[in-house]
Structure 1
Amino acid sequence: MNTVSDALARVLDYHERTKHHLNRYAAGPETLDWDSQPDPFRRFEGAPTIRLPLAAGRLATPFGALAAPETVPPQPLSLEPIAILLELSLGLSAWKQYGPDRWALRCNPSSGNLHPTEGYVICRAVPDSPDGVYHYVSRDHILEQRCRFAEPGETPRLFIALSSIHWREAWKYGERAFRYCQLDTGHAIGALRYAAAALGWRLRWVSGIGFAELAAGLGLDRDEDFSGAEREDAELLLEVIVDPASMESGATVPLPPAAEWHGRANVLDPHPIYRWPVIDEVAEATQPPATTPEPGVIETYPPRQADCPEPAAALIRQRRSAQHFDRREVLSTAGFYHLLDALLLRRAPPWDVWELIPRIHPVLFVHRVEGLEPGLYALPRRSAIESELRAAFRSDFTWIKPTGCPDHLPFYRLAEGDCGRLSRVIHCHQAIAADCAFALGMLAEFEPIVEKAPWRYRQLFWEAGLLGQVLYLEAEAIGVRGTGIGCYFDDVFHELLGLSGRTFQSLYHFTVGFPLIDTRILTLPPYADRP
């Protein structure tokens, strides 16, 4: 068994060795054969299946209503709303085609569109769904029954579990892939929370279940079911709450014994060329234990002004990652502050999925925003961290609140000046970081957090991915588009801010702007073969 110090050493070693630098990138494959890309869809061959209805189009909840969840009447717990939850979170949103190439897009974004995240459904006394564990297959919108429980449940309870297949990301990104798998988990958490809110449901992280218990409950530890196939790493368990008044007080959930298991995992890549053992090492070092929520004080902010009338289902399914931005367009002041306000922690979706102190704080490269001078800005997401950031950052930063900034928004200008070229260099020389309206780096409170609990290395990435999901959907709501950036020069960004040591570390970057659409690429329906 790893001690905390051993686990911490592995985490810090992994984090340092997977940084990109101006003179070298983190270790990855020297070449890619796209014809041998791993299968993006896991199946458990031989498992009984349940064909889910495609019903999300009938859900009329406006996207703006999700900011005030008490206004959305809860759907009853049955198979059709469960199908909508999965369709709007982990399901396909479209197929794309360019010449002979065809690929799927999903409602939950993923680094490189590689989708390492797998979803599982656990049903106890749920109408129309026999008790058991199910694997969700997004390609076909079906549930595969992995097991049925030996003991029937008495109280209706529904859970969603997430796992990661590291090889899907490592095939393209090498050692840095573990980072991206955790960011994708964060995106999936956000996608599930937004979809649940559209149904009038709550979603709660079940922190009282540890890695080994969750892996066993999902059947991920069954060697006989994964013979020759890529393994999955359990991430976390979420409980769907239909009626908060009947919510059980216990933090843990017993996973009852299975009467029998069904299905064998398919092989995703029959001829892998590379191996990255450091990914397995950091995965083992960060296996989440059963834990209790982190106590903390929630800031008080005015209610969000979210009035987007478009159906949430339509907006969720139209979300895309921008590939190119139009640098001639300028983002409105109102739109910009709307996006920043959505990042503040409130007891509303998606932040109410867990009780955790916000540890991720955006630093922004503002390029083209109405009424704002181009320059470097910061958004500390909790008041107690502001003094620490000021002390850690460069002493010549001004920390001036821009004229016209909403009073409740902790937003500060650090330095004025055109930072387009600088942003492009930091983001691995990618043009989107300069052509956007703004780019940002998500700075995490790092070493003091992971030295106490190394498993929180995962959770910090989950929080960063959750911020990314908020930006994706809120950008769509105001008529612009975002894209996540996993490639950036870590320490160059830190040096720009004047940071030393590992008290703060950047874990994810993001851009928002006006997209340029490549009309040569066809967009096709996600489930055209389904009635």
Structure 2
Amino acid sequence: MSDTPQNPLRAYHARTKHRFEAFAEGPGQLDWDAQPAAFRHYPGAPVCELPLSADRFDRCYGQLPEKPENAVAPDLASLGALFELSFAISAWKSWGPSRWALRCNPSSGNLHPVEAWLLTGGLPGVADGVHHYDPEQHALEGRALTAPTGDSPWLAVALSSVMWREAWKYGERAFRYCQLDVGHGVGALACAAALLGWEVRPLAIAGDDLGHLLGLDRPDDFPPSRYAFTENEEAEILLAIHAPGLGAVPSLEQLRQRLAGLTWHGQPSRIDPSPGYRWPVVDQAAVFSRFLRSTAEKPEFPALPPLDPHPTTAGAAQLIRQRRSGQRFDPKCSLSKAAFYRMLDAVLPRPKVPFAAQEASPRIHLLLFVLRVDGLSPGLYLLPRTPAANDELTATMRTHFDQLRRVDDAPPQLGLIQLAELGLQEMQRLARSLSCHQDIASTSAFSLGMLGEFEAATGDGYGYRELLREAGLIGQVLYLEAEAAGVRGTGIGCFFDDPVHAACGLTDTRWQSVYHFTVGTPVTDARIETSPPYPQRTQERT
């Protein structure tokens, strides 16, 4: 990976672009029988089974940004609900002999590189120390357990990535997808916490330090070898849980002292014993983008009116569990303008759930491919999410779109801009071709590209992670808002990068498309059967 020593991540991003003439480097073929293990376990570690308790805390999705009437105390039951609605299995699917799990947190290709961890002290019913979350059993595996200190209870969740799970299918572009998945994971955790009236906040900690706290640098568990890249986990982010009765997360030095000399329990299960490829550029991107700052950035949010409660009567837990990625959309169905505007309003960056959990100021803006929205002409639209981006993007794009105009009947806080009005067939061809010729981008009500402030974000390496994670966070909002509107969303990681930029008049690297998304009326495949997430524990919900 070649570039100036100051900015190797920009070289990585350029190298992993899809182009009309060639895709980014990836495997030539896939052996689905040799897919990396979807679940990691730590056999030998003490297990704490979490209750399937989310239903007892459920409330209307529209109330999610507000605190519940009765504060929910952190304990084993509420902790079970937190993980159940963020990283647990939501359903099993089967077709013939094939069976696969869906989870509450979305993932590129349903490959799930993200692993979740619990760090805690003084929580009733849970041993102090570091626990790995096992979504297959909805249980905690105690990796390093500490003696009680008598201090105030505290709680934090860490995320790591098994990057090989994505690289196995997507090759060099996998680092991008891992970071999008981390953003989705943060969003899923923030929404689950909000249901309980809790809050999630990122903590500043270097990646190597977080990896040490999680035991990811232990040579006994992750020995260096020729195939270590399939087993290693990349420490991603540490998130403090703010809830009634919880104190601050101990400092890094305090955590180090508590873990020093402890016995680590269990051995990590294998992810892939016989990989057919290797993509060193993925590991290099991880190294160059690790957190090295001394303090965390405090996000600055634009002044916006409060988001009106969603009119749905559905419960938040219900919507979170039923979230799926649409595989096909019905082109005969449309979306109401009110529902469309509501989705756009929901992705504006307010210091509420889930955007209060992001690490940096907002730098993502939406290029919209409007296809089937009632009362809105098909065409290209722009949703700048900050005033500064509104000024810069409109000035840049005005030279390319001479009919650029404000959408007068849109809510004023959206600042929605019509770049060009196009016929439906022309829009379908454009949306489909730019998203790697995928029908889901053209048969939906609308699709979009997320334009990131790329040069500003990549002033240091970690900013690249933050940019991609913000895109994943927005995607998580769109998933849940689509379910609340009675339709369905799908994240799209495959798109032709520079042709997207050319289509909207962007000629340099100040702005780069980092993620695509689509929303429409799903077509259900009746051949696929659905079964409960934890059939062996069904009685817990009755």
Cα distance, 1:153–1:174 mapped onto 2, change above 3 Å: farther
Match of 2:420 among 407, 415, 418: 415
1:239 corresponds to which residue? 240
Query: Mapping of 1:172-187 within 5 angstroms?
Result: 172-187=169-184
Structure 1 counterpart of 2:12, one-letter code: Y
Match of 1:125 among 122, 131, 134: 122
| CA deviation profile, 1:38-63 (whole Å, cap 9, x unmatched) | 11000112111111111122222111
Structure 1 counterpart of 2:240, one-letter code: E
Match of 2:159 among 157, 162, 171: 162
Following TM superposition, by how much is the alpha carbon of 1:293 offset from its aligned partner in structure 2, in angstroms? 2.1
Give 3-state SS (helix, strand or coil) of 2:366's partner: strand
Match of 1:79 among 55, 70, 76: 76
Following TM superposition, by how much is the alpha carbon of 1:399 offset from its aligned partner in structure 2, in angstroms? 3.2
Q: 2-side partners of 1:399 and 1:301: how far apart?
A: 25
Structure 2 counterpart of 1:263, one-letter code: G
Q: 2-side partners of 1:323 and 1:72: how far apart?
A: 38
Match of 1:494 among 491, 501, 508: 501
Q: Is the contact made by 2:301 and 2:351 (CA closer than 8 Å) also made in structure 1?
A: no
| 2:224 counterpart of 1:225 | no
Following TM superposition, by how much is the alpha carbon of 1:242 offset from its aligned partner in structure 2, in angstroms? 0.5
Give 3-state SS (helix, strand or coil) of 2:361's partner: coil
2:255 corresponds to which residue? 255
1:281 corresponds to which residue? 284
2:449 corresponds to which residue? 441
Cα distance, 1:297–1:86 mapped onto 2, change above 3 Å: closer
Structure 1 counterpart of 2:446, one-letter code: F
Following TM superposition, by how much is the alpha carbon of 1:98 offset from its aligned partner in structure 2, in angstroms? 0.2
Match of 1:216 among 212, 219, 232: 212
Tell me which moved more, 358-367 or 57-66: 57-66
Q: Is the contact made by 2:73 and 2:244 (CA closer than 8 Å) also made in structure 1?
A: no
Q: Is the contact made by 1:401 and 1:411 (CA closer than 8 Å) also made in structure 2?
A: yes
Structure 2 counterpart of 1:474, one-letter code: E
Gaps of at least 5 residues in structure 1 are none
Following TM superposition, by how much is the alpha carbon of 1:407 offset from its aligned partner in structure 2, in angstroms? 1.8
Cα distance, 1:317–1:409 mapped onto 2, change above 3 Å: same
| CA deviation profile, 1:324-380 (whole Å, cap 9, x unmatched) | 000001100110001000011112111111463210001000000011010000000
Structure 2 counterpart of 1:203, one-letter code: V
2:46 corresponds to which residue? 48
Query: Mapping of 1:357-506 within 5 angstroms?
Result: 357-397=361-401, 398-418=403-423, 419-451=427-459, 453-506=460-513
Q: 1-side partners of 2:81 and 2:241: how far apart?
A: 13
Q: Is the contact made by 2:301 and 2:350 (CA closer than 8 Å) also made in structure 1?
A: no
How many matched pairs? 524
Following TM superposition, by how much is the alpha carbon of 1:500 offset from its aligned partner in structure 2, in angstroms? 1.6
The root-mean-square deviation of aligned C-alpha atoms, in Å, is: 1.9
Q: 2-side partners of 1:76 and 1:454: how far apart?
A: 38
| 2:268 counterpart of 1:265 | yes
Following TM superposition, by how much is the alpha carbon of 1:302 offset from its aligned partner in structure 2, in angstroms? 3.5
Cα distance, 1:293–1:247 mapped onto 2, change above 3 Å: farther
Give 3-state SS (helix, strand or coil) of 1:403's partner: coil
Structure 2 counterpart of 1:221, one-letter code: D
Cα distance, 1:381–1:255 mapped onto 2, change above 3 Å: same
| 2:374 counterpart of 1:343 | no
Q: Is the contact made by 2:301 and 2:349 (CA closer than 8 Å) also made in structure 1?
A: no
Following TM superposition, by how much is the alpha carbon of 1:263 offset from its aligned partner in structure 2, in angstroms? 1.2
Match of 2:27 among 14, 26, 29: 29
Q: 1-side partners of 2:475 and 2:55: how far apart?
A: 25
Following TM superposition, by how much is the alpha carbon of 1:150 offset from its aligned partner in structure 2, in angstroms? 5.3
Q: Is the contact made by 1:230 and 1:267 (CA closer than 8 Å) also made in structure 2?
A: yes
Q: 1-side partners of 2:80 and 2:268: how far apart?
A: 23
2:5 corresponds to which residue? 6
Give 3-state SS (helix, strand or coil) of 1:236's partner: strand
Following TM superposition, by how much is the alpha carbon of 1:448 offset from its aligned partner in structure 2, in angstroms? 2.3
2:295 corresponds to which residue? 291
Following TM superposition, by how much is the alpha carbon of 1:175 offset from its aligned partner in structure 2, in angstroms? 0.5
Following TM superposition, by how much is the alpha carbon of 1:469 offset from its aligned partner in structure 2, in angstroms? 0.2
Q: Is the contact made by 2:155 and 2:249 (CA closer than 8 Å) also made in structure 1?
A: no
Q: 1-side partners of 2:472 and 2:119: how far apart?
A: 24
Q: 2-side partners of 1:271 and 1:295: how far apart?
A: 43
Cα distance, 1:54–1:358 mapped onto 2, change above 3 Å: same
Give 3-state SS (helix, strand or coil) of 1:264's partner: coil
| 2:356 counterpart of 1:352 | yes
The runs of 4+ residues in structure 1 deviating greater than 6 Å are 249-253
Q: 2-side partners of 1:292 and 1:254: how far apart?
A: 19
Q: 2-side partners of 1:412 and 1:287: how far apart?
A: 36
Following TM superposition, by how much is the alpha carbon of 1:210 offset from its aligned partner in structure 2, in angstroms? 1.2
| 2:107 counterpart of 1:106 | no
Give 3-state SS (helix, strand or coil) of 1:154's partner: coil
Q: Is the contact made by 1:295 and 1:356 (CA closer than 8 Å) also made in structure 2?
A: yes
Following TM superposition, by how much is the alpha carbon of 1:154 offset from its aligned partner in structure 2, in angstroms? 0.5
1:196 corresponds to which residue? 193
Give 3-state SS (helix, strand or coil) of 1:213's partner: helix
Q: 2-side partners of 1:243 and 1:298: how far apart?
A: 28
Q: 2-side partners of 1:143 and 1:231: how far apart?
A: 20
Structure 1 counterpart of 2:421, one-letter code: E
| 2:138 counterpart of 1:141 | yes
Gaps of at least 5 residues in structure 2 are none
Structure 1 counterpart of 2:209, one-letter code: E
Structure 2 counterpart of 1:511, one-letter code: T
TM-score normalized by the length of structure 2: 0.93
TM-score normalized by the length of structure 1: 0.95
Cα distance, 1:313–1:431 mapped onto 2, change above 3 Å: same
Q: 2-side partners of 1:92 and 1:529: how far apart?
A: 13
Q: Is the contact made by 1:187 and 1:462 (CA closer than 8 Å) also made in structure 2?
A: yes
Q: Is the contact made by 1:89 and 1:191 (CA closer than 8 Å) also made in structure 2?
A: yes
Give 3-state SS (helix, strand or coil) of 2:64's partner: helix
Q: 2-side partners of 1:487 and 1:55: how far apart?
A: 37
| CA deviation profile, 1:232-267 (whole Å, cap 9, x unmatched) | 0000001111139x7649987842432221111111
| CA deviation profile, 1:305-331 (whole Å, cap 9, x unmatched) | 323221111110000000000000110
Q: 2-side partners of 1:411 and 1:338: how far apart?
A: 12
Q: 1-side partners of 2:82 and 2:351: how far apart?
A: 21
Cα distance, 1:18–1:384 mapped onto 2, change above 3 Å: same
Q: Is the contact made by 1:210 and 1:291 (CA closer than 8 Å) also made in structure 2?
A: no
Q: Is the contact made by 1:299 and 1:382 (CA closer than 8 Å) also made in structure 2?
A: no
Q: 2-side partners of 1:396 and 1:130: how far apart?
A: 60
Following TM superposition, by how much is the alpha carbon of 1:5 offset from its aligned partner in structure 2, in angstroms? 5.8
Query: Mapping of 1:293-312 within 5 angstroms?
Result: 293-294=297-298, 296-312=300-316
Q: Is the contact made by 1:372 and 1:402 (CA closer than 8 Å) also made in structure 2?
A: no
Following TM superposition, by how much is the alpha carbon of 1:90 offset from its aligned partner in structure 2, in angstroms? 0.1
Q: 1-side partners of 2:535 and 2:306: how far apart?
A: 43
Cα distance, 1:222–1:251 mapped onto 2, change above 3 Å: closer
Q: Is the contact made by 2:67 and 2:194 (CA closer than 8 Å) also made in structure 1?
A: no
1:516 corresponds to which residue? 523
Q: Is the contact made by 1:72 and 1:200 (CA closer than 8 Å) also made in structure 2?
A: no
